[in-house]
């Protein structure tokens, strides 16, 4: 039991690093997240072998394994072996993470700890963006800001994911339990505060993709306020309004101008060339609808560009 508990806390550290992995790099060694991930995986596998315990699988996990196996088989027909090997490395890592989290996060409390670790890690990324903003360090692309050398869209999507986690943790916190632990209140306040700060950071990235991706979060946010007492709802609403009023004057005009083109790009534009990429993906899928062109080869098909559409990318690479 103690070994499994140790494996769990090691995985929490790994989850904490994920949102700012691009900033956790040791010169001459490489990304800290990779080393921690390998260490956590090795320790967890050792615990499984020693204890002989593993949580009963769900049909979803069988689907994950079949997906991985199919992509491995694509080595037989891929048009770019190196890209396929690179993608398979990522898929293997993700598959291991799926099984590790399933096996170790067996209670609601453990799941909450994992989500909280991700939010706290995302805080570091937010501070990196804000640091670049107040220092006037842009990415050179229309005055956009980022942090830890992340691509603006990637960073913004990391924060969008954390938004949902933070809000869920805040509104579903056990207030009675928190009365016994002062740090519980601090975490709840930190989760509430994360929302306006992360939204501000997302706006600084000027990522239209992230703004659209955040729409489900706002639906979730509005629908989940019923969990709160009327007095708590009022306090949260007032706090959010004050935070947004304070942050609104700080938003750069360049970010506003870029984000304001979102609607026009959706209805009349080409979404920064995405429509052409999607057409390439569609044609590639229609030519090889069963087995695809090989895992990870979309860049080969498109001349070095990513699809900006996960579903279409997978269809073109792996088939249906």
44-48, 57-61, 290-294, 308-312: which has the minimum mean pLDDT? 308-312
Quote the domain boundaries for residue 221: 108-269
Give tens-digit pLDDT for 125-150: 999 999 998 888 888 767 788 888 88
Please check whether residues 156 and 291 belong to one and the same domain: no
Distance of alpha carbon 280 from alpha carbon 263, whole angstroms = 23
Q: What is the pLDDT of residue 104?
A: 96
Please answer whether residues 315 and 281 qualify as being in contact, where contact means their C-beta atoms are separated by less than 8 angstroms: yes
- pLDDT value for 59: 93
In the chain, how long is the greatest CA-to-CA distance? 62
pLDDT band at 106 (very low <50, low <70, confident <90, very high): very high
Q: What pLDDT shows up at residue 269? A: 54
Both 218 and 261 in one domain: the answer is: yes
User: Based on the domain organization, do 225 and 165 belong to the same domain?
Assistant: yes
The answer to whether residue 6 scores a pLDDT higher than 70 is yes
Mean pLDDT, the chain, as a whole number? 86
The pLDDT of residue 100 is above 80: yes
pLDDT classification of 177: cutoffs 50, 70, 90: low
For the four alpha carbons of 291, 295, 296 and 300, in that order, the dihedral sign comes to: negative
Q: Supply the DSSP string of 226-272, one letter for each residue.
A: GGS-HHHHHHHHHHHHHHHHHHGGGS-HHHHHHHTTHHHHHHTS-TT
| Same-domain check for residues 80 and 129 | no
**Model-wide pTM > 0.85:** yes
Closest of 36, 5, 6 to residue 20, by C-alpha = 36
Residues 38-89 pLDDT 10s: 999 999 999 999 988 899 999 999 999 999 999 999 999 999 999 999 999 9
93 in the same domain as 191: no
Question: Residue 25 pairs with which residues in a beta bridge?
Answer: 31
pLDDT tens figures, 256-286: 777 777 666 555 555 666 788 888 888 988 9
Q: Are residues 114 and 248 in the same domain?
A: yes
**pLDDT at site 274:** 78
Specify the pLDDT at position 249. 77
- Whether 112 and 217 share a structural domain: yes
Task: Indicate whether 205 and 315 sit together in one domain.
Answer: no
| Total number of domains constituting the chain | 3
Same domain, 143 and 251: yes
Is the pLDDT at 109 greater than 70? The verdict is: yes
Same domain, yes or no: 70 and 145:
no
Is 193 found in the same domain as 165? yes
């Amino acid at each position: 039991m103690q070994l499994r508990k140790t494996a769990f806390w090691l995985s929490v550290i790994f989850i904490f690093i994920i949102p700012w992995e691009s900033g956790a790099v040791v010169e001459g060694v490489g990304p800290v997240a990779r080393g921690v991930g390998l260490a956590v995986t090795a320790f967890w596998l050792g615990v499984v072998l020693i204890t002989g315990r593993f949580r009963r699988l769900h049909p979803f996990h069988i689907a994950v394994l079949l997906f991985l196996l199919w992509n491995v088989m694509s080595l037989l027909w891929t048009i770019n072996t190196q890209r396929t090997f690179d993608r398979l490395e990522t898929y293997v890592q993700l598959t291991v993470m799926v099984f590790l989290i399933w096996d170790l996060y067996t209670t609601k409390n453990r799941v909450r700890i994992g989500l909280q670790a991700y939010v706290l890690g995302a805080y570091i990324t937010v501070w990196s963006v804000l640091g670049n903003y107040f220092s006037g360090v842009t990415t050179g692309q229309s005055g956009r800001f980022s942090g830890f050398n992340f691509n603006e869209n990637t960073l913004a999507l990391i924060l969008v994911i954390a938004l949902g986690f933070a809000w869920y943790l805040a509104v579903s916190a056990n207030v009675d339990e928190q009365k016994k632990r002062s740090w519980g209140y601090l975490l709840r306040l930190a989760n509430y505060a994360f929302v306006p700060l992360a939204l501000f950071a997302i706006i600084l990235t000027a990522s239209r993709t992230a703004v659209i991706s955040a729409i489900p979060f706002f639906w979730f946010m509005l629908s989940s306020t019923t969990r709160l007492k009327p007095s708590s709802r009022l306090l949260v609403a007032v706090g959010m309004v004050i935070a947004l009023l304070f942050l609104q004057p700080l938003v750069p005009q360049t970010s506003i101008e870029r984000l304001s083109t979102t609607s026009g790009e959706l209805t009349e534009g080409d979404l920064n060339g995405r429509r052409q990429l999607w057409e390439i993906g569609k044609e590639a899928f229609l030519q090889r609808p069963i087995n695809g062109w090989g895992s990870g080869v979309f860049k080969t098909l498109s001349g070095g560009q990513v699809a900006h559409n996960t579903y279409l990318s997978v269809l073109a690479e792996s088939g249906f």
